[in-house]
Amino acid sequence: MFKLVKRLTSVVAMFAVLFTFTTETMAAKKSKTLKNTQKKGFVRCGVSQGLPGFSNADAAGNWTGVDVDVCRAVAAAVLGDASKVKFTPLSAKERFTALTSNEIDILSRNTTWTLSRDADIGLTFVGVNFYDGQGFMVRKNSGISSVNDFKAGVSACTNLGTTTELNMRDFFNSKGIKYEPVTFEKADEVVAAYDAGRCDTYTTDKSGLAAQRIKLSNPDDHMVLPETISKEPLGPVVRQGDSVWEDIVRWSLNTMIEAEEYGVTSANADMMKTSDNPAVKRLVGAEGELGAALGLDNEWSLRIIKQVGNYGESYKRNIADTGILPDRGPNELWTKGGILYVPPAR
Amino acid sequence: MNFKKILPQLLTLVVVILVFGFFSYNAQVNMENRGITFGYGFLSQESSFDVQFSLIEYDGSHSYFRAYLVGLLNTILVSVIGIVFATIIGVVVGIARLSSNYLIERTAAIYVEFFRNIPLLLQIFFWYFAALRALPLPEKAEPMFGVFFLTIKGFFVPAFVWNNLDIFIYSVIAAIIAIVFVRLYAKKKQENQGIQTPVLSISIGLLIILPLLSFFLGGVGASVEIPVIEQLSKTSFTFKGGLKLPPELISLALALSLYTATFIAECVRAGVQGVSKGQKEAAASIGLTPNQVLKLVVMPQALRIIIPPTTNQYLNLTKNSSLAAAIAYPDLVLVFAGTALMQTGRAIEIVSITMLTYLTLSITISIFMNWYNKKIAIKEK
């Protein structure tokens, strides 16, 4: 009997410890994520399972892409080293759960910003790093040259759990066309099935189509239809409820875009410290105390530009030079006819 | 009542409740912190996504609950097809492994060793992409018997268009009930008079005659709708009309049954070998024919060994069908725990429903197989 009481006490004690631990985490300081990241020494970043130009790993396991660069920028700002990122490849299905359940701290995985995602499931979108839209890829010899050429019975391959699935329905419904959706969990299977002829068309974001086309057995036999059937603003996502971390990610991205606007590049960033333009000086940390507001030192933005480069450099390196989408389209600065426009860093 | 006996049980119960309470409390706190709401109200919302293959009428204007039913029925469909074929193949191969013919025995053994030692997911991919590579495009498909078309876009078969389908179904049910009575009668007759009735031929006769009568007297009619090829664009075709079995269903059912059949074959072999030789010899010595020996002496005893492990295989097959998500077969996991979860973000709710559903499916199979096992078990008098 005595033994039992003793055992019981230890069980109760264990629970007490667990409960205190929970309450402690609940009342954690302002930015738990920032604190944890600095303690761990790396940024935990969720990326795709392989989308050239956005997030793609080479044979040696080095990740590149514009989505990858967002996480690298945060690592440069917070930890001082853009290489201190741990990448977790996630399927479309897993991505939000991974973020809300604390497995990653930034989700930078060509994810469309929508109201329900932003408001409903404990996520916050911090900005847009690529303006995209959904399109269709077809075989050139099919004679289909526009989305108006689709006929009832058409089968469309796509990724499951994406906005693509919903847009596709809206689109075919508005045209009154009965279609067959074939949805796979992984992009590689979508490509393989379309390539084999299972589907008449492959639909996803146009950047994705351009990137995946390279993987087809004869890329030249396929083309992307001119129409865009939806708005797909893609951007990084963080957990709801940590506004400091949210600001850090948002302004890391904004810094890259603003740096391009002011002509600050990884090559000339150090020299820009002596620039005459106060906006440029603020950007490289030579004026103002912007870092302090984010809980960082004043060189955070300089490190981003020096180690990762500005948005234009990142785009050129990952998307233009790889032949995916040489034309920047809407992803050009507002001053050059695009729609990239970020609030001023001041 | 002995207090000392009850106390440990009570304490265990308290601990279990505390553990569950702790986890649900923790989940609640965490969800609240992250601004996630909890509730099952989303089930009645419009799903707004489509599914390629469904046994009930469904499109995006239906609710998430209906999407759940679509996925559930598709899971049940592929499991039932898989179980039926796995059993047939398993029994044949299991008996083939006991054959005295060297070639047959070796072939069966190689089949078993080959298929049970390759991971199932790989086999599913193999059959799916092998099928996609090997099958012809719709316009190049050679018709089988003029009306079946096996193409990369699916297996197109003629469909029946029914009149008064309900009367036909009643007639089949009536036939089944009649067969049950005939069997009971035959059993009694044998027990009382020792005379055997040809139950099998009477049963088959009933199953044919009663539904046939429904056609002539009940006004049941059926016409056949044959799939017709249709052009979608300059180079792409499909079939219209008839019934379409998607290639995803075919390759998944194929992979599941070929894989599970290897295990069932081993169960069957073990079962038959488990019946002692003396039983067969004794049966033969009282003048039973080899067929009767198998049917009346060997099989009833072998089944007792075969059923419990085979139940496990049925359960495995049902659960393994969730690998469907890899090849776009819209089962419960793909439709509900996949698309619906993604579109609503209700991970905890949807995963809990899905787990509960698989649990229910498995328990149903278990209960049925346990009942069957009890039925054939030795009745000690």
- Which band of pLDDT confidence, cut at 50, 70 and 90, is reported for residue B268? very high
CB contact under 8 A, A166 and B35: no
DSSP tag of B92: H
CB contact under 8 A, A184 and B326: yes
Give the nearest partner residue to B48 out of A138, A166, A192, using CB atoms.
Answer: A166
Half-sphere exposure of B261 (CA within 13 A, CB side): 28
| Alpha-carbon distance B44 to nearest alpha carbon in chain A (angstroms) | 17
Dist. CA A75–CA A77, nearest whole Å: 5
Three-class secondary structure of residue A115 per DSSP:
helix
- Structure tokens given for B126: 């193999």
CB contact under 8 A, A153 and B7: no
**Which run of H or of E encompasses B147?**
none
| Alpha-carbon distance A115 to nearest alpha carbon in chain B (angstroms) | 12
CB contact under 8 A, B29 and A239: no
Dist. CA B119–CA B127, nearest whole Å: 13
| Alpha-carbon distance B304 to nearest alpha carbon in chain A (angstroms) | 42
Q: What is the reported pLDDT for A28?
A: 37
| DSSP assignment of A256-277 | HHHHHHTT--TTTTTGGGG-S-
Q: For residue range B20-76, list pLDDT tens digits in order.
A: 898 888 888 877 776 667 788 889 888 888 898 888 889 888 999 999 999 999 999
Give the nearest partner residue to B234 out of A143, A181, A239, using CB atoms.
Answer: A143
CB contact under 8 A, B232 and A153: yes
- Identify the weakest region by mean pLDDT among A185-189, B216-220, B250-254, B355-359: B216-220
Q: What is the reported pLDDT for A2?
A: 54
CB contact under 8 A, A189 and B34: no
CB contact under 8 A, A15 and B18: yes
Q: What is the reported pLDDT for B231?
A: 78
Q: What is the reported pLDDT for A23?
A: 40
Domains of chain A with CATH codes: 34-131+234-336 (3.40.190.10), 134-230 (3.40.190.10)
Dist. CA B271–CA B313, nearest whole Å: 15
Query: From A8, which residue of chain B is nearest by alpha-carbon distance?
Result: B11
Q: Which residues pair with A85 in a beta bridge?
A: A43
Give the nearest partner residue to A149 out of B233, B235, B238, using CB atoms.
Answer: B233
A-chain CB neighbours of B326 within 8 Å are 184-186, 189
CB contact under 8 A, A198 and B34: no
3-state helix, strand, coil in chain B (%, to 5): 70, 10, 20
Distance in angstroms between the alpha carbons of the first and the last residue of chain B: 35
Phi-psi region of B196 (alpha: psi -120 to 50; beta: other; left: phi over 0): beta
| Alpha-carbon distance B161 to nearest alpha carbon in chain A (angstroms) | 21
CB contact under 8 A, A197 and B334: no
pTM of the model: 0.77
Give the nearest partner residue to A240 out of B15, B26, B35, using CB atoms.
Answer: B35
> Is the CB of residue A323 less than 8 Å from the CB of residue A332?
no
Query: From A157, which residue of chain B is nearest by alpha-carbon distance?
Result: B328
Q: Which amino acid is at A280?
A: V
Q: What is the reported pLDDT for A111?
A: 92
Query: From B235, which residue of chain A is nearest by alpha-carbon distance?
Result: A142
Three-point CA angle A167, A173, A174, nearest 5°: 90
Q: What is the reported pLDDT for A313?
A: 95
Query: To which residue do tokens 């058409």 refer?
Result: A154
Three-class secondary structure of residue B154 per DSSP:
strand
Mutate to test the interface with B, among A159, A165, A239 (most CBs of B within 10 A): A165
Of B282, B322, B269, the C-alpha closest to B124 is B322
Query: From B18, which residue of chain A is nearest by alpha-carbon distance?
Result: A15
Cα dihedral B24/B39/A240/A205 (nearest 10): 130
CB contact under 8 A, A149 and B36: no
- Structure tokens given for B234: 């300059």
Give the nearest partner residue to A151 out of B22, B232, B325, using CB atoms.
Answer: B232
In degrees and rounded to multiples of 5, residue A300 shows phi and psi of -55, -45
The mean pLDDT value for B222-230 works out to 76
Give the distance, in angstroms, between the CA of residue B356 and the centroid of all CA atoms in the same chain.
Answer: 18
CB contact under 8 A, B129 and A192: yes
Give the nearest partner residue to B52 out of A26, A149, A181, using CB atoms.
Answer: A181
Dist. CA B43–CA B31, nearest whole Å: 20
A-chain CB neighbours of B137 within 8 Å are 197
CB contact under 8 A, A143 and B343: no
* Contact pairs from chain A to chain B, CB under 8 Å: 145
Dist. CA A122–CA A101, nearest whole Å: 10
CB contact under 8 A, A11 and B22: no
A-chain CB neighbours of B9 within 8 Å are none
| DSSP assignment of B317-356 | HHHHGGGGGGGT---HHHIIIIIIHHHH--HHHHHHHHHH
B-chain CB neighbours of A154 within 8 Å are 232, 236, 238
Q: For residue range B180-218, list pLDDT tens digits in order.
A: 998 888 888 888 887 877 888 888 888 888 878 877 777
> Is the CB of residue A259 less than 8 Å from the CB of residue A308?
no
Dist. CA B329–CA B287, nearest whole Å: 53
**Which run of H or of E encompasses B72?**
helix B64-96
Dist. CA A70–CA A250, nearest whole Å: 9
| Alpha-carbon distance B153 to nearest alpha carbon in chain A (angstroms) | 6
Q: What is the reported pLDDT for A26?
A: 35
Dist. CA A326–CA A346, nearest whole Å: 32
Q: What is the reported pLDDT for B356?
A: 94
Query: To which residue do tokens 């050129």 refer?
Result: A316
Domains of chain B with CATH codes: 44-158+226-342+363-376 (1.10.3720.10)
A-chain CB neighbours of B238 within 8 Å are 153-155
Dist. CA A47–CA A89, nearest whole Å: 5
Q: Give me the residues of chain A with pLDDT under 50, please.
A: 17-29
Of A190, A93, A134, A240, the C-alpha closest to B343 is A93
- Structure tokens given for A147: 């989305």
Q: For residue range B321-351, list pLDDT tens digits in order.
A: 999 888 989 999 999 998 898 888 788 889 9
CB contact under 8 A, B339 and A151: no
Give the nearest partner residue to B36 out of A121, A143, A196, using CB atoms.
Answer: A121
| Alpha-carbon distance A343 to nearest alpha carbon in chain B (angstroms) | 27
Mutate to test the interface with A, among B22, B28, B342 (most CBs of A within 10 A): B342
DSSP tag of B141: P
Give the distance, in angstroms, between the CA of residue B257 and the centroid of all CA atoms in the same chain.
Answer: 9
CA distances from A318 to A325, A326, B305 (A): 10, 10, 62
B-chain CB neighbours of A182 within 8 Å are 52, 246, 248, 328
Q: What is the reported pLDDT for A15?
A: 53
